[in-house]
Amino acid sequence: MVPDALSLLLELCRRLPDAASMPPEWRQVASIDGEHQDGLLHFADHLSAHLETDPTLGQTVSWLVRRYVLSPHEQVAMSKLPRHTFRFRYDAGELVFYQSPPKDLGDGILRHEPLSLITRDLGLWRDDGKGAVVTARGRLLIREAFAT
C-alpha cells in the first residue's frame, strides 16, 4: 500500500503544469502553504529536490513520514502545551508511542481512530486479540524512517 500512496503522489506531481504556465488563480491557490504543511507547489518542489538525491523507496517514505507526518504532529502538539497532546515522545533517541490515549485528549481524540484505522489498513500493525502488535511491515517502516 505504501508504494500505491507514493505512486499517487508522484503522479500528482508529474501532472502539475509548470507554475509559470498556470492560470494566475490556480498558481495563487497552489502556492498557499498551511501553518504546518507545504502547499501543493512547495510540496512538489521539495519532493522533486528529494528525488534528485536518488533515494530508495524506503528513504523516500521515511522522508515523507518525517516531514509531513511526524514534524507537523510535533509542531501542532507543542503549540498546545502545557496540555499534554502527544501520542509519542522521543526517549534516548527512540520514538516511543503511548500504549493508549490518555483519558482527556480534547480535540486530539478526533484523530486517534482515523490514524489507527489507516495504519492498520496499511498493514503496519494488527490486533492479536490482546492488543495492537506491530507487523514486520511496520517494523521495517519504523527502522527505515528513523535510521540515521
pLDDT at 37: 84
pLDDT at 100: 53
pLDDT tens by residue, 97-106? 665 555 555 5
Q: How far apart are CA 102 and CA 40, in angstroms?
A: 34
Q: How confident is the model at residue 114 (pLDDT cuts 50, 70, 90)?
A: confident
pLDDT at 125: 93
Q: 29-33, 86-90, 115-119, 131-135: lowest mean pLDDT where?
A: 86-90
**For the CA atoms of 8, 51, 139, 110, what is the dihedral angle to 10 degrees?**
-50
